[in-house]
């Protein structure tokens, strides 16, 4: 940690921040449009540069309606605007009176001769700070070659994804994942979190650590909203990408877009085949018997996947747009695993040894459709009504065959079969209304109703005397029905230098779970208010500050509540708890944002206070380790976050991210005190270098410190990623090579001792190498990355 800290300080000291001339404050605004069709251009880059030295003073991107607004205290500047496929515009001559410069409509002319320069403009991902969220605009980083949505998330400041695929925000789980602002089976646990969403499909990712009342209150750590691309070019544009890699990592991606004055058609297709190897080692000792059990497990998860998105936006008139989109994904999975067990008595003598082999296959179809109506009530684009309905469905049909074969001891060989028929539907209905109340005020109000219906028909059969007999201890149908109705209102006031936003949300939750065969039921019906407060102040173009508060909730999901055992390793078992209560969190944060010539730096402090904390409780009986979630009390987490970027030269940059938090837990479980405290830090540093001959190099170092959970000590984890890129045909084609976890050092290691048990577990996946090539179609540019399916 000392080495990393010293390196960060050195980067900061070398920045040599230089302040430009001071001037009276002025707001610059305008609208960017395409010259031929007069349609607005979203996400165009707008920069203020100094006339003397051409240094960037400030920058932003246009919104969905092509509008932008910037504020500066500098007097001697010009405006530079750019977007892929269009000529860059520089506006140097203008006159303004008072504190506002309105540039009006700015028209972009097409340019087909500067493809290479266009690619360079959009080369790097960047983070923008808004009043109640951070927006990570996904760029063309080399390390994203062959990457899944999980890999992209792992490169975003404050977000981490562990080797198990679990997402954390500032070191805490309980994050709510949304797709285009709505819940989706594509982001559900059973649906393999964002498995069929590939990097080339993502426009931006919004990280909302303290969501306003406009967003649903689910997710104690915050919300991550993944916004998928619709593209935006006139005429035909797109790209085609091919990947191959080791272990099996082969895919083909196609993205196309056709846009006219009134109609926008878009489609994306992805197909691929992946293998994910997994190695686990587990040691457990039941101190009541002193029998030691060791397990070695090797598992290959193989998957063929297909993903298709079709959609259209139709402009009925100048003020009304209707959008219809659909997505179909299909996964065909096979799993081969082998678990080897050895059991020793208290004297250390081997008494039993056996193996358990698994052969599983599953079909997973899932689809989603959405209909949305957007109504603009005036030309400003600030007075709007959005109405949408989304339906999503996921199904999993799985059959698993298990064989136990004894090599030492007298235990008979055994055969077991597992059948799963899983169905999930999520239906979301939303209404959002935004209206300016005066020059600086804005009102937002709306409602959302989410219906989640799940059926999990789970059966286990044992082979007895050549006949498959149901094992009624593990066979049942679990039904999960949850409805959440939310209503909200916010009022915001935002001037040139400061802004404030107050909000209140009410949510009524209805949850019913049932075990059909046993008749066990759990019903919860409750309503809660969730207030939010957000403020910001801009001291200068170099320094601003944000502060926020929000009340949050984490409702136990299907797999926290589902009581079925996972039987792949029948001596290391996870089971849900249908009697869990929701977590409630009060979240506070203050963030300072600095921008200098060569350095941008964000420093934040935060605190979360959570009641009804849900934590896994580990028990060992007869050497069977069972992990089960339960409500264990109260927790407080206080943290410091530092992230930024240092660009010492035009051809090199350093991105860094450091998150430290200290936590304490108080609670009792089964008449035992579980009070404890600890700390944790996560750091990441990425270096990007431009090499001769249009080569680019990226290297990223990640480190996660050791930390404590309720009963386990999680040991430190570190890994190194590397990427190399070569542009061809003036940027029309790109070749990428990426190596994730270069030294195969990324491992999950957990140990525990006490309370009647000893437990030690190691998990690892190994190195992934991907080679990809992409080619731009029509006016489209080559993708600098493409899709990987992750589980």
Per-residue pLDDT of 753-766, as tens digits, reads 666 667 888 999 88
Task: Using DSSP bridges, classify how beta strands 707-708 and 695-704 pair: parallel, antiparallel or unpaired.
Answer: unpaired
Which residues are within 8 A (CB) of 461 and not within 5 positions of it... i.e. 6 or more apart? 416, 417, 418, 419, 468, 469, 470, 471
Q: Is the pLDDT of residue 377 over 90?
A: no
Spatial separation of the C-alpha atoms in residues 549 and 607, rounded to whole Å: 10
Domain covering 2-111 in this structure, CATH number:
2.60.40.1120
Q: What is the mean pLDDT of residues 67-73?
A: 84
Spatial separation of the C-alpha atoms in residues 183 and 223, rounded to whole Å: 11
Give residue 117's pLDDT. 31
Which of 135-144, 462-471, 716-725 bottoms out in mean pLDDT, i.e. has the lowest? 135-144
Q: Quote the pTM value.
A: 0.72
CA angle 522-524-525, nearest 5°?
Answer: 155
DSSP codes, 344-404 = E-TTS-EEEEEEEEEEEEEEEEEEEEEEEEEEESSTTS-SEEEEEEEEEEEEEEEEEEEEE
More confident residue, 243 or 143: 243
Spatial separation of the C-alpha atoms in residues 416 and 438, rounded to whole Å: 69
- C-beta of residue 434 within 8 angstroms of C-beta of residue 214: no
Place of tokens 């109506």: 373
Q: Is the pLDDT of residue 391 over 50?
A: yes
Give residue 373's pLDDT. 93
Q: Is the pLDDT of residue 11 over 70?
A: no
Q: Is the pLDDT of residue 421 over 80?
A: yes
Which of 47-56, 436-445, 700-709 bottoms out in mean pLDDT, i.e. has the lowest? 47-56
Spatial separation of the C-alpha atoms in residues 40 and 38, rounded to whole Å: 7
More confident residue, 66 or 502: 502
Give residue 789's pLDDT. 33
* Domains 2-111 and 128-778 belong to one CATH topology: no
- C-beta of residue 398 within 8 angstroms of C-beta of residue 362: yes
Give residue 163's pLDDT. 55
Give residue 299's pLDDT. 93
Sign of CA dihedral 383, 137, 151, 717: negative
Q: What is the mean pLDDT of residues 442-463?
A: 92
Q: Is the pLDDT of residue 190 over 60?
A: no
Spatial separation of the C-alpha atoms in residues 213 and 445, rounded to whole Å: 9
Which range of 225-239, 443-457, 609-623, 738-752 scores highest in mean pLDDT? It is 443-457
Q: Is the pLDDT of residue 175 over 90?
A: no
Question: Residue 595 is encoded by which pair of tokens?
Answer: 């921008």
Give residue 603's pLDDT. 92
DSSP 145: T
Give residue 21's pLDDT. 35
Question: Residue 146 is encoded by which pair of tokens?
Answer: 């062959």
Which of 151-155, 473-477, 535-539 bottoms out in mean pLDDT, i.e. has the lowest? 151-155
Q: What residues are paired with 614 via a beta bridge?
A: 631
pLDDT range class, residue 480, cuts 50, 70, 90: very high
Question: Residue 139 is encoded by which pair of tokens?
Answer: 């760029």
More confident residue, 228 or 741: 741
Q: What is the mean pLDDT of residues 217-232?
A: 73
Q: Is the pLDDT of residue 279 over 90?
A: yes
Percent of the chain residues past pLDDT 70, beyond the cut: 81
Which of 238-252, 740-754, 774-788 bottoms out in mean pLDDT, i.e. has the lowest? 774-788
pLDDT in tens, 35-64: 766 778 877 888 888 776 666 777 787 876
- C-beta of residue 785 within 8 angstroms of C-beta of residue 771: no
Question: Residue 427 is encoded by which pair of tokens?
Answer: 């239906």
Which of 21-35, 68-82, 310-324, 451-465 bottoms out in mean pLDDT, i.e. has the lowest? 21-35
Q: What is the mean pLDDT of residues 404-414?
A: 88
Spatial separation of the C-alpha atoms in residues 259 and 313, rounded to whole Å: 9
Distances 592 to 76, 163, 222, 645, 704 between C-alpha atoms, Å: 26, 31, 19, 14, 24
Place of tokens 């080791």: 246
pLDDT range class, residue 568, cuts 50, 70, 90: low
Distances 650 to 7, 84, 403, 653, 690 between C-alpha atoms, Å: 20, 21, 60, 8, 9
Q: What is the mean pLDDT of residues 377-401?
A: 87
More confident residue, 586 or 184: 586
Q: What residues are paired with 101 via a beta bridge?
A: 28
pLDDT range class, residue 380, cuts 50, 70, 90: low
Mean of per-residue pLDDT scores for the chain: 81
pLDDT range class, residue 598, cuts 50, 70, 90: confident
pLDDT range class, residue 198, cuts 50, 70, 90: low
pLDDT range class, residue 783, cuts 50, 70, 90: very low
pLDDT range class, residue 1, cuts 50, 70, 90: very low
For the chain, give the number of residues. Answer: 791
Q: What H or E segment, with its residue span, contains residue 7? A: helix 2-13
Spatial separation of the C-alpha atoms in residues 447 and 756, rounded to whole Å: 50
Give residue 203's pLDDT. 76
Q: What is the mean pLDDT of residues 622-647?
A: 86
3-state helix/strand/coil string of 765-781: CCCEEEEEEEEEEECCC
Spatial separation of the C-alpha atoms in residues 196 and 271, rounded to whole Å: 9
Q: Is the pLDDT of residue 547 over 80?
A: yes
Q: What is the mean pLDDT of residues 472-478?
A: 84
Q: Is the pLDDT of residue 12 over 50?
A: no
pLDDT range class, residue 165, cuts 50, 70, 90: low
For the CA atoms of the chain, what is the radius of gyration?
A: 27
Spatial separation of the C-alpha atoms in residues 186 and 195, rounded to whole Å: 7
Residue 170: which region, alpha, beta or left (left: phi > 0; alpha: psi -120 to 50)?
Answer: left
Q: Is the pLDDT of residue 17 over 60?
A: no
Give residue 628's pLDDT. 86
Give residue 235's pLDDT. 57
Spatial separation of the C-alpha atoms in residues 10 and 683, rounded to whole Å: 16
Give residue 209's pLDDT. 79
Give residue 182's pLDDT. 67
Q: Where are the domains of the chain?
A: 2-111, 128-778
Q: Is the pLDDT of residue 343 over 70?
A: yes
Q: Which CATH superfamily is domain 128-778 in?
A: TonB-dependent receptor, beta-barrel domain (2.40.170.20)
Spatial separation of the C-alpha atoms in residues 341 and 17, rounded to whole Å: 61
Q: Is the pLDDT of residue 135 over 90?
A: no
């Amino acid at each position: 940690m000392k080495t990393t800290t010293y390196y960060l300080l050195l980067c900061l000291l070398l920045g040599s921040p230089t302040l430009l001339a001071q001037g009276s404050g002025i707001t610059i605004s305008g609208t960017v449009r395409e010259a031929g069709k007069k349609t607005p251009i979203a996400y165009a880059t707008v920069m203020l540069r100094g006339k003397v030295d051409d240094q960037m003073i400030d920058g932003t991107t246009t919104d969905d309606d092509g509008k932008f607004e910037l504020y500066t205290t500098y007097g001697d500047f010009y405006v530079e605007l750019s977007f892929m496929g269009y000529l860059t515009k520089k506006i140097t001559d203008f006159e303004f009176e008072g504190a506002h410069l309105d540039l009006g409509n700015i028209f972009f002319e097409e340019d087909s001769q500067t493809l290479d320069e266009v690619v360079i403009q959009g080369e790097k991902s960047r983070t923008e700070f808004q009043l109640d969220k951070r927006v990570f605009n996904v760029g063309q980083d080399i390390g994203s070659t062959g990457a899944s949505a999980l890999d992209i998330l792992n490169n975003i400041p404050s977000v981490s994804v562990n080797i198990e695929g679990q997402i954390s925000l500032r070191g805490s789980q309980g994050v709510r994942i949304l797709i285009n602002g709505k819940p989706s089976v594509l982001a559900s646990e059973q649906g393999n979190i964002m498995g069929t969403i590939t990097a080339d499909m993502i426009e931006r990712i919004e990280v909302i650590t303290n969501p306003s009342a406009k967003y649903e209150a689910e997710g104690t750590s915050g919300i991550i909203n993944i916004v998928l691309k619709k593209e935006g070019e006139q005429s035909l544009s797109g790209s085609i990408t091919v990947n191959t890699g080791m272990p099996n990592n082969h895919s083909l991606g196609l993205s196309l877009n056709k846009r006219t004055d009134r109609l926008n058609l878009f489609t994306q297709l992805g197909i691929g085949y992946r293998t994910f190897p997994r190695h686990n080692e587990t040691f457990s000792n039941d101190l009541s018997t002193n029998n030691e059990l060791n397990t070695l497990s090797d598992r290959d998860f193989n998957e063929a996947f297909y993903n298709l998105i079709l959609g259209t936006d139709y402009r009925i008139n100048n003020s009304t747009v209707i959008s219809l989109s659909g997505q179909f994904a299909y996964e065909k999975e096979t799993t081969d695993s082998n678990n080897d067990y050895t059991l020793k008595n208290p004297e250390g003598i081997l008494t039993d040894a056996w193996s358990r082999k698994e052969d599983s296959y599953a079909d997973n179809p899932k689809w989603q459709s959405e209909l949305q109506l957007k109504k603009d009530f005036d030309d400003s684009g600030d007075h709007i009504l959005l109405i949408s309905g989304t339906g999503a469905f996921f199904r999993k049909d799985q059959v698993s065959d298990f064989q136990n074969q004894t090599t030492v001891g007298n235990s008979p060989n055994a055969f077991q079969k597992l059948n799963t028929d899983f169905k999930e539907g999520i239906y979301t209905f939303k209404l959002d209304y935004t209206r300016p109340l005066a020059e600086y005020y804005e009102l937002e109000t709306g409602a959302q109703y989410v219906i989640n219906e799940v059926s999990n028909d789970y059966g286990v059969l044992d082979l007895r005397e050549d006949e498959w007999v149901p094992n009624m201890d593990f066979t049942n149908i679990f039904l999960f029905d949850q409805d959440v109705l939310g209503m909200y209102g916010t009022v915001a006031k935002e001037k040139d230098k400061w802004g404030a936003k107050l909000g209140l949300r009410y949510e009524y939750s209805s949850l019913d779970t049932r075990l059909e065969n046993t008749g066990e039921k759990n019903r919860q019906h409750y309503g809660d208010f969730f207030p939010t407060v957000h403020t910001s102040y801009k001291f200068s173009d170099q320094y601003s500050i944000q502060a926020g508060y929000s009340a949050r909730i984490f409702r136990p999901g299907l797999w926290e509540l589902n009581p079925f055992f996972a039987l792949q390793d029948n001596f290391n078992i996870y089971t849900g708890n249908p009697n869990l209560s929701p977590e409630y969190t009060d979240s506070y944060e203050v963030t300072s944002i600095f921008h200098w010539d060569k350095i941008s730096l964000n420093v934040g402090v935060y605190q979360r206070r959570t009641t009804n904390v849900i934590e896994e409780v580990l028990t060992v009986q007869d050497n069977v380790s069972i992990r089960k979630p339960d409500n264990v009390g109260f927790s407080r987490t206080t943290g410091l976050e530092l992230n930024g970027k240092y660009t010492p030269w035009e051809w090199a940059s350093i991105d860094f991210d450091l998150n430290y938090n200290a936590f304490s837990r108080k609670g009792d479980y089964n008449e035992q005190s579980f009070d404890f405290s600890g700390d944790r830090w996560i750091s990441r540093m990425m270096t990007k270098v431009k090499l001769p001959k249009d080569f680019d190099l990226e290297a990223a170092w990640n480190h996660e410190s050791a930390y404590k959970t309720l009963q386990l000590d999680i040991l430190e984890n570190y890994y190194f990623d590397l990427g190399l890129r070569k542009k061809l045909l003036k940027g029309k084609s790109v070749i990428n090579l990426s190596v994730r976890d270069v030294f195969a050092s990324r491992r999950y290691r957990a140990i525990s001792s006490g309370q009647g048990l000893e437990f030690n577990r190691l998990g690892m996946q190994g190195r992934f190498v991907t080679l990809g090539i992409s080619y731009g179609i029509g006016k489209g540019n080559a993708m600098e990355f493409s899709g990987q399916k992750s589980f």
